[in-house]
Amino acid sequence: MNIKGSDPSAAAIAIAVFAALLAGCATERFYDGPPLAPEDRAIVRADPVVSAGLPVQIRLRRVNEREVRLAASRVELPPGRHRLVVDCRVAESGSMRRFTVEADLEAGGRYRLVADTTARNCEAVALVGD
């Protein structure tokens, strides 16, 4: 499709950016068997892969002993105790630190990872109810 006066390469770039944004919002399921009903599982959310200039970005790297796919910014888990390995990056300084968060997740719970930061560094990461 070419609209008079439009630049085909600009359209291709826009489509690529949109696809990258969608990929950064993927949810990865971290249990075997059929999908659990929303009231029977928990969701943990980090920041999207594409940070779009966020001053601080939190990336979920591992749940228990399993790696999280690069495109996933959310994970779906059964209730219970889980170990989350998280990277926290401060854009201004370029510093990055890794944290381990131990969490007891409730069925039906929705959680997000949040950072406690200074202007130059991540001091801690916590899991809070969403």
Give tens-digit pLDDT for 54-79: 899 999 999 999 999 999 999 999 99
- Written as one letter, the residue type at 13 is I
CB-based contact 59:47 (threshold 8 Å): yes
pLDDT recorded at residue 69: 96
Split at pLDDT 50, 70, 90, the class of 10 is low
Whether residue 19 is predicted with pLDDT greater than 50 in this model: the reply is: no
Q: Which domain holds residue 125?
A: 27-129
Q: Determine the residue type at 11.
A: A
In a domain, 86, yes or no: yes
The structural domain count of the chain equals 1
Tokens of 66: 């399993």
According to the model, what pLDDT value does residue 99 have? 98
Per the domain annotation, does 7 fall within a domain?
Answer: no
The reported pLDDT for the residue numbered 24 is 46
What are the contacts of 62-70 at 24+ separation with CB within 8 A? 63/30, 64/30, 66/30, 68/28, 69/26, 69/28
Q: Tell whether pTM > 0.85.
A: no
21, pLDDT greater than 70 = no
- Model confidence at 103, pLDDT cuts 50, 70, 90, reads very high
The answer to whether residue 101 is domain-embedded is yes
Residue 106 and residue 100 in contact, taking contact as beta carbons nearer than 8 Å:
no
In a domain, 5, yes or no: no
